[in-house]
């Protein structure tokens, strides 16, 4: 039988914000960016499929809006009342689905979920083109996750309401990258400044495979928009060719300085930000890549380095790091809701 004397049952739960969760910092970010709604107006009624669609100004204003939601929750009204989200997850997901649904609900909207492909007309061989045509009439915005990277493009052909790519196979996961950037800007608002002093430039380590992980792919594209604040991005991987064809060239053209290493611990002492992920989705299954890389409390991290992780995590990120100041992955997960609220508000033109 279970311990009935669990101390957590004895008294009300209090919100116990850790310093590591960034509860205070959005305010600094809010102050660091001047409000300018024009870049967000350009997002109105737009589909969001690729990280390549965003400008630096859009990222800053999205982050600013997210910070406003996070610091001033009492200012959130219910502008999406009467609007319907179609939350279509043809590939398993909790985190991304719930994060989108939470964001939509907090803005007052209603939701129709599809969580099981076997329960849908897709099972009858219906094309995504036809599903898209149908959704034009049944919903106001679609979020789609599908293990087939072409799926979102097929649906886009017939859709006249906006669609957001919630992860398309190994290709992209642009809103995860938005959440990553939001965490980064909350941690170091100075990154927003156009001409950052070189001594303040940051080094980012990415433990993962840019050519095969959609989260890493999308993140690198967005980091390209802040290349003037980034001294170097170090890819930690044991793959011969961690990049996809042409990917490295594109990122370098965007201004990023890239380096590849196999040695995690040798690189860590220089890193201000360490992003780690070991899961790559392949079809309906996933593969662990570089799973021998592992961060731990004894890892040679800079004292003020932060760790980011898109979660869910495996052995590569043990719980012993949760209560250290390196833990910004919980803040990153928390911020994902506010960032998605900012994006949804902008697409639905309800942010004012």
Q: What's the distance, CA 200 to chain centroid?
A: 24
Query: How far apart (Å, rounded) are the C-alpha atoms in residues 42 and 349?
Result: 10
CB of 238 to a second copy, least distance (A): 22
CB of 317 to a second copy, least distance (A): 10
Residue 305: its H or E element: none
Distances (CA, A) of 171 to 72, 146, 235, 239, 273: 35, 11, 18, 18, 24
Per CB under 8 A, contacts with a second copy among 260-319 are: 279, 286, 311-314, 319
CB of 337 to a second copy, least distance (A): 6
Q: Point out which span in 148-156, 255-263, 269-277, 295-303 binds a second copy (CB under 8 A).
A: 148-156
Residue span 30-69 as binding mask against a second copy, x where in contact by CB under 8 A, dash where not: --------------xxxx-xx-xx----------------
Query: What is the dihedral sign for C-alpha 245, 247, 249, 250?
Result: positive
Contact 101, 166 (CB under 8 A): no
Q: Point out which span in 135-143, 201-209, 255-263, 267-275 binds a second copy (CB under 8 A).
A: 135-143
Among 146, 154, 171, 180, binds a second copy (CB under 8 A): 171
Nearer to a second copy, 76 or 231 (CB): 76
Among 22, 26, 132, 162, binds a second copy (CB under 8 A): 162
Nearer to a second copy, 28 or 120 (CB): 120
Which residue is listed with tokens 């499929």? 49
First and final CA of the chain: distance in angstroms? 53
Distances (CA, A) of 132 to 51, 161, 344: 22, 9, 19
Among 95, 259, 262, 292, binds a second copy (CB under 8 A): 95
Query: How far apart (Å, rounded) are the C-alpha atoms in residues 320 and 292?
Result: 17
Nearer to a second copy, 198 or 246 (CB): 246
- SS3 breakdown of the chain: % helix, strand, coil, rounded to 5? 45, 15, 40
CB of 52 to a second copy, least distance (A): 5
Q: Point out which span in 152-160, 183-191, 200-208, 234-242 binds a second copy (CB under 8 A).
A: 152-160
Per CB under 8 A, contacts with a second copy among 224-253 are: 244-247
Query: How far apart (Å, rounded) are the C-alpha atoms in residues 317 and 329?
Result: 10
Nearer to a second copy, 200 or 284 (CB): 284
Which residue is listed with tokens 């430039």? 201
**DSSP label at residue 198:** G
**Number of amino acids touching a second copy (CB under 8 A):** 92
């Amino acid at each position: 039988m279970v311990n009935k004397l669990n101390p957590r049952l004895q008294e009300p739960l209090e919100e116990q914000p850790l310093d590591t969760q960034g509860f205070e910092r959005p305010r600094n970010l809010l102050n660091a960016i001047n409000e300018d709604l024009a870049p967000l107006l350009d997002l109105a009624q737009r589909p969001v499929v690729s990280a390549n669609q965003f400008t630096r100004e859009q990222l800053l204003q999205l982050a600013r809006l997210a910070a406003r939601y996070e610091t001033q929750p009492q200012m959130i009204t219910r502008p999406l009342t009467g609007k319907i989200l179609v939350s279509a997850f043809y590939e398993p997901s909790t985190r991304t689905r719930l994060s989108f649904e939470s964001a939509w609900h907090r803005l007052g909207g209603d939701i129709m979920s599809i969580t099981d492909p076997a329960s849908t007309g897709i099972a009858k061989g219906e094309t995504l083109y036809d599903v898209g045509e149908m959704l034009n009439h049944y919903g106001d915005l679609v979020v789609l996750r599908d293990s087939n990277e072409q799926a979102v493009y097929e649906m886009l052909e017939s859709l006249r309401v906006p669609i957001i790519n919630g992860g398309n196979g190994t290709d992209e996961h642009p809103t995860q990258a938005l959440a990553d950037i939001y965490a980064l800007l909350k941690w170091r608002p100075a990154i927003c400044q156009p001409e950052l002093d070189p001594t303040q430039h940051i080094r980012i380590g990415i433990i993962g495979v840019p050519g095969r992980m959609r989260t890493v792919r999308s993140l690198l594209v967005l980091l390209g928009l802040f290349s003037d604040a980034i001294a170097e991005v170090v890819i930690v991987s044991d793959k011969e060719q961690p990049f996809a064809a042409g990917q490295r060239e594109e990122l370098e053209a965007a201004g990023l300085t890239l380096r590849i290493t196999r040695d995690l611990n040798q690189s860590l002492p220089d890193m201000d930000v360490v992003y780690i992920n070991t899961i790559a989705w392949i079809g309906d299954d996933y593969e662990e890549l570089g799973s021998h890389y592992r961060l731990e409390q004894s890892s040679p991290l800079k004292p003020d380095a932060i760790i980011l992780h898109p979660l869910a995590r495996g052995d590569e990120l043990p719980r012993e790091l949760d209560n250290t100041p390196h833990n910004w992955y919980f803040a990153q997960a928390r911020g994902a809701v506010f960032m998605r609220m900012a994006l949804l508000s902008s697409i639905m033109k309800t942010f004012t």
